[in-house]
Structure 1
Amino acid sequence: MFDTLNVFHTAQMMATHAGTRHAVVSRNMAHADTPGYRPADLSPFHEVAAQSAGAMRATRPGHLGGAQTRLPEPEPRADVVTDPNGNAVSLEAEMLTAVEAKRAHDRALSIYRSAMEIMRQSIGRR
């Protein structure tokens, strides 16, 4: 029932994007000493949402040809400075990106909670 409401779908997409971005940041931090490693990142959520906003989305396998909304693959960052060994990971930048991902995930959960509270109040439950 709730999966057909756009607010729940958007909150789910936001949380998934934030979780995936956090995993990418973790991978970048794990490779901080790997020679030649280039850090990656996801597209911002507003770009991902804009790409899928006008398109019809599948709600079950086989529906609309089975096209599911997917997050883009992480792409290497182009605006990084490399160390002498070719590694381009900045732990400080990755920590800031991790904080951004956590805030985005918290925002998604807050949207979900608010929508659930509105649903509960509309049917007379508390």
Structure 2
Amino acid sequence: MFQDINVFKTAYAMATHAGKRQAIVAQNMANADTPGYRGRDIEPFAASYDRDAPRTAMRASRPAHINGIAQGGTEWAEVATQGATDPNGNSVSLEEEMLKAVEVKRQHDRALAIYKTSLNVLRASLGKV
């Protein structure tokens, strides 16, 4: 009955996407002064969710995790950010990266809120409140 609850899969995917994007934003910020560095980003979660229309099984992070199904991690399409470049060829704007970092934090917080709310609904349905 509780083996395939899609809301938990979606919350997990949202949180994983936010973590991956935060790592890319941090890398962009770290290379803000590197000559020739091109800023990167990944596709928005909504676009990747729409692209994967036929829903796939959850992916395990280690053997015997999630009923023993071992699969690779989810990958999102990385793209080079478009925009003006500095005279040294660097395309990273620290202001834009800071705004992305705030957006990513909100996405991660949203994923956690969905997860917690879903757990509360599940507990309430089982009478474990």
TM-score, normalised to structure 1, is 0.87
Percent of matched pairs sharing the same residue: 48
Q: Distance in 2 between matches of 1:7 and 1:53?
A: 15
Compared with structure 1, are the counterparts of its residues 52 and 34 closer, same or farther at alpha carbon in structure 2 (3 Å cutoff)?
Answer: same
* Runs of at least 5 residues in structure 1 that lack an aligned partner in the other structure: none
Q: How many correspondences in the alignment? A: 120
Compared with structure 1, are the counterparts of its residues 3 and 91 closer, same or farther at alpha carbon in structure 2 (3 Å cutoff)?
Answer: farther
Please give the root-mean-square deviation of Cα atoms over the aligned residues, in Å.
Answer: 1.8
Do residues 83 (structure 1) and 91 (structure 2) align? no
Q: Distance in 1 between matches of 2:46 and 2:6?
A: 15
Q: Distance in 2 between matches of 1:33 and 1:117?
A: 46
One of 97, 105, 113 as aligned partner of 1:110? 113
Q: Distance in 1 between matches of 2:56 and 2:93?
A: 39
Q: Distance in 2 between matches of 1:23 and 1:112?
A: 22
Cα deviation for residue 69 of structure 1 reads 6.2
Cα deviation for residue 17 of structure 1 reads 0.2
> Is the helix fraction higher in 1 or 2?
1
TM-score, normalised to structure 2, is 0.85
